Structures are given as C-alpha cells and as structure tokens.
Structure 1
C-alpha cells in the first residue's frame, strides 16, 4: 500500500464524508470554487457601494448577497462616495435629475437596521449627493407591504427606477426570488415619479399619492360603517315590513290602495310583524262559528231514550 501523499485517506467507518447537502466534502469544495469564479465574472454597469454595520441577519441581508455576487463593494467608516447616497440622513429625494450623477458615479446605500439608526455615525459616511427615497412599499420577506421599509437592494433598485434606468433595477432584483415583485408592487407609483423632473416635483407627487391613499381609507371606513349589519337593527321592525296580498300582486285599484294604507301592524313577543286585520278577521270568524253553534243548539228538538239507551 502506498504511503505519504499517495495514500488514500478513508474514514474509519469505510464511508466517504458528506456534507449537509448530501455531497462529499470534495464536491462541495469544487462547488464553492465554481460559485466564486462565476461571481467574479458578474459586473454591474455602474459602481455600487455600501456601508455595512452588521445589524442584519447575514442569511437575509440583501447587501451581503450582492457582495457575495461581486456586485457591490463595502466602504469603511470615514470613506465618502461620489455618487448618489441613499440614506435616511438625506435632505432631498431621488429625482430624474439625478440620472447624470448615477451614470457617472453610481449609487450607494447604508446597510443598517431601521430600529438602530441612532447607532449609525452619519457624520462619518455619505457624500455630496445624499438622498431620501419617496414613498414606496417594501416587497422583501421581512417587511413586505410596509411603506418606506426598503432593504438594501430595493433602495438601489428604486434609485435606478426613479432616474429612468429600469434595466439596471431589474438586473439587480433578478438575483432575488421576490425581487421583481417590488417593481410590480410599485409600478404605478414609479411611473409617476419618472414623469417628474426635480426633487420638488417628486415631493408633490408623493404628497398627492398619500392624500389619495388617505381619502380611499376614509371612504372604506365610512362604507363599512354604513353596511354594518349590526347597525341596521331589527329588520322586522322597519317600516313596510308587512304588505297586503293585493299590493304584492300589483293591484292598481284605488280601493285596494286605500285599504292597504289603513292596515296596521302589531308585533308578537318574538318581534314578528302581525297584521291587525288578519287578527280581527280570525276573531270575526270565531264569533260567527260560535253564533252558528248557538243557533243549532236552540233549534234542536228534545231527544229521549228508552230503558236500553236507544234513541226514541
């Protein structure tokens, strides 16, 4: 048997070592090499950068995934960026007028947690073109449907989309399974921002959109309140709860209408509507039947029986 470097090393149990994915350690090593070789070939048309403060879960952090793909570069605290800096510390909003800066110098973001903004030294990062993002809704798995809570890749894609580079936005988001949903979710709003020019016009468009949302919310609340069945009360006690047969059949005579107007309604112990005329009619019928029985009793001839009980 060979010794030294040529010796085949096998585990004691005679089985090759396998990773969590079921492949051998050598196969996994080759897969990792191929992954990073392919990632080095991925190039983005403009420079992308971020200040990463390690606030997020590395498995869910979109910025770290872009870094693994070789699409974005991490900056140190103290470094400045020449392009657009999408930051909560920005004064104006991203607008189509920023296209030239984006195409020449790229864009950057601050990769941090929304709950820990006070820990970020904004005075030591950023650049000349710090920008806020206007109203947009997140589509990522952590903050889906929440306004303004965009993650790193969504912020960059929103910046590119607003300045008119939808191709760059789509290219970035294509690396995430939920990514294209961000553009679809904000399609109408992004088209409105793209039609603006400067930051002031984007801000006006944002305010109009928020007013529209507020109006729709109030309308839904008022409509839900009007249609609430618990606000309707007992429908048996509402006016017109009982109609005569003539009115239902479409009778047009004046007598039937006048009679229908005179009819009154009462309610039993369960709240059911009862017509007084029907009660009176039943009473009159019972009285007539009683009178007929009395007349029959008065007109009856006397009857006698013999000792055996036979009728005579």
Structure 2
C-alpha cells in the first residue's frame, strides 16, 4: 500500500472532497438524513435565523432540527439580522407592535446554553431589533415547567404568538412531539400579551401576572401550615410519641389480660372453666362427676 494512501484530504491539509453532485460531504450527509427520516425541506413563510454556538447536544437541539428541516439559517459571528432578534441582550420585550417587523424580516434566536451565556459575544451578533421575551413557561423535555428557560423553537414560537401569528407558532412547534404543549401551557398568558400594544404594556401585564402568582403561592403556604405534616415541627419526635403511646396501650392491655388469665381455670382436657366471683361452685361439682376413658373421651 502506498505511503499516505489511507490519509484523508483533511489530514493532509487539503479541502474536503465533494460528491458527484458537487456538494460537500456535510451537505450530502444532511440531505441523506432528511431522506432517511422521510422528511423534506420545509420552507417557512418568513426568514428564520440563528447564531449557533454548539453548546447543546445535536440530538436534542431544537435549532439544529429546524436546520435539518431547512427551516432556519445559521448565521456567522459578525453577521447581523434585520428582523426581530430574540436575545438575552435585549432591553425591550416582544410586543404586538413588532408584528410588521416579523412579517417583513422574520425572527432569529441565539442558540446557546443558559449556563454559558458569558461565552457568547453578544456585541458581535444581533441587530437593530433585539428583544427579550416576557414571562413564559418551558414545555421542552429538558426544562419542562421552568419559567424563562425556553429553547430555540419555543422562543421563536413565543415571538410569533405574541405578535398574533399563532399559526406560524403552531407550524414550528408541530415538528416536535412536545411542541403543541407549549401553546397549551401558556395559553392564558399569551392571550393576555396579544391584547397589549407596545413593550411597556406587555411588561405591565407580565408584572400583574407575576404578582398574581406570588399571591397564590402565599395563600397555598398559609393553608399548608394547617394541613401539611412537614410544616408542623419535628415529625420524627411526633412519630416517636405516637409509638410510645401505642406501646403503653399495648402494655396496659397485656396487664389486663394477665389479670384475667389468673382467674381462668381449665379442666383435664384443657377446656376453660368459667369461674366468676358470683359462681356458686356448681360447675366444680358437675366436673367432679364427669369420668373419662383412656383416650380422654367422656364416658
């Protein structure tokens, strides 16, 4: 075998080879995956984009799945986006007034881990219309039920739903088994946000909702003080007292039984002879007249 024949072009410093169709191996792999899964590239009504920093597991990353479906475009660091940019770096929140921007230029997100936000160069990404999302609860499998912790597709769907394009939100989420749950979980809150106009009114609605949640939490805590056993002191000590009292009761019952057993008499066959204080002794006289054979049978 010739020297270096097993080495790939990448190992030898060359460029990756292209297939017979002229596409790179990465592109061919993507198309083969779509074909194998029975999916076809889906065009979305507006532009979708993301800055992907590869913080997430590719198999669980919602952004990468949208990319495989051909619905979203990856942007390089340094590129800007003209539409709404859902980003932790925003100052205003998404509001119904953003509908025109969304319908004309689309929406984008930052695909990164919540635990590694400090690694994201926010000054090199984004655009003119950077937005935060108001209070919403995640439905994805990683952060289900946790507020604020939305993944890529949930963030985009939330943006569309708030500006009144619930149809676009539903279309995006339909590609995920848990997707429709997101809209159900946040139905009441999304309807409240949709009735607002600008960023200020959305923030006011959010504050009112959070205040309502806080009151409900306080009410539940107040009720649980009377009902929840774990909030009534040292449970172990209480249980020990219960056990001690039960043992004492059992001891008293045993004493009563022992006292009673002292007054119980048995015949030669082991049968109990009922001798009460009021007994006149007639039972004794009857038993004395009873005779038995060798097997213990009464004659």
**Is residue 39–residue 68 contact of structure 1 (8 Å, CA) maintained in 2?**
no
Distance 2:34 2:185 in 1: 36
Match of 1:158 in 2: 158
2:125 corresponding residue in structure 1: 125
Aligned to 1:167: 167
**TM-score, normalised via structure 2 length:** 0.65
Name the CA distance, whole Å, in 1 between partners of 2:223 and 2:209: 21
Deviation string, structure 1 residues 199-238 (Cα, Å, up to 9, x no partner): 0000000000000010000000000002346859xxxxxx
Q: Say yes or no: does 1:39 pair with 2:40.
A: yes
Aligned to 2:198: 198
Cα-Cα RMSD: 2.3
Aligned residue in 2 for 1:211: 211
Paired residue secondary structure (1:141): coil
Cα deviation, 1:132-179, whole Å, max 9, x if unaligned, reads 000000000000000000000000000000000000000000000000
Indicate the structure (1 or 2) with the bigger Cα radius of gyration: 1
Unaligned runs of at least 5 residues, structure 1: 1-27, 233-268, 271-312
1:251-309 superposed Cα distances (whole Å, 9 cap, x missing partner): xxxxxxxxxxxxxxxxxx97xxxxxxxxxxxxxxxxxxxxxxxxxxxxxxxxxxxxxxx
- Supply the distance in 2 between the matched residues of 1:88 and 1:111 (Cα, whole angstroms): 11
Report the CA distance between 1:106 and its aligned residue. Answer: 0.1
Distance 1:215 1:48, change over 3 A: same
Q: CA 1:35–1:105 in 2, change beyond 3 Å: closer, same or farther?
A: farther
Secondary structure class of the residue paired with 1:39: coil
**Count of equivalent residues:** 206
**Structure 2 vs 1, CA of residues 172 and 29 (structure 1 numbering), >3 Å: closer, same or farther?**
closer
8 Å CA contact retained: 2:30, 2:68: no
CA distance 1:218–1:154, shift in 2 (3 Å): same
Q: For 2:40, what is the secondary structure of its paired residue?
A: helix
Distance 1:85 1:52 in 2: 13
Q: Which residue of 2 aligns with 1:278?
A: none
TM-score, normalization by structure 1: 0.63
* Shift in Å, 1:63: 0.2
Q: Is the 8 A contact 1:50 1:74 kept in 2?
A: yes
Structure-2 change in CA distance of 1:33 and 1:182 (3 Å)? closer
**Distance between the aligned counterparts of 2:164 and 2:32, measured in 1?**
37
In the aligned structure 2, how far is the partner of 1:231 from the partner of 1:110?
47
Secondary structure at the aligned position of 2:130 is classed as strand
- Mapped contact 1:86–1:131 kept (Cα < 8 A): yes
Give the deviation of 1:31 after TM superposition: 6.7
Cα 1:59–1:85 shift into 2, 3 Å: same
2:99 aligned residue: 99
- Residue 291 (structure 1) aligns with: none
